[in-house]
């Protein structure tokens, strides 16, 4: 079964570059990362906050999914702020 197409918003690509988070790690997070927040109710396309890791460094990915077109849109990628997230970076303080 083919993987969905990934559409990279310019903002997401800029953030990946700034934070040195590789495309490979982002794709791995989309495929196997832990969904820590679900924004499906708030947006027209189901969206999620996903926890991924690049080595030991945690990062969060916000992505929306269009099942009908078999596409995932990468909205942003960021390193969570330890002052705003619990120690495991799965819950907001």
31 domain residue, yes or no: yes
Distance CA 84, CA 66 (A): 30
**Residue range 11-62, pLDDT digits in tens:** 999 999 999 999 999 999 999 999 999 987 766 678 999 999 998 999 999 9
Euclidean distance between the first and the last CA atom of the chain, given in angstroms as a whole number: 39
Q: What is the extent of the structural domain holding 70?
A: 5-78
In contact, 67 and 3? CB cutoff 8 Å: no
| Domain CATH number, residue 65 | 3.30.2310
Does residue 50 sit within a domain? yes
Query: Which tens digit of pLDDT belongs to each residue from 60-88?
Result: 999 998 878 889 999 999 999 999 999 99
Please state the pTM of the whole predicted model. 0.89
């Amino acid at each position: 079964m083919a993987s969905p197409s990934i559409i990279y918003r310019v903002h997401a690509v800029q953030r990946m570059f700034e934070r040195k988070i590789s495309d490979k790690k982002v794709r791995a997070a989309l495929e196997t990362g832990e969904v820590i927040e679900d924004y499906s109710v708030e947006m027209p396309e189901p969206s999620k906050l996903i926890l991924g890791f690049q080595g030991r460094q945690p990062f969060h990915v916000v992505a929306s999914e269009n099942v009908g077109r078999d596409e995932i849109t990468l909205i942003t990628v960021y390193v969570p702020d330890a002052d705003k997230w619990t120690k495991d970076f799965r819950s907001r303080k």
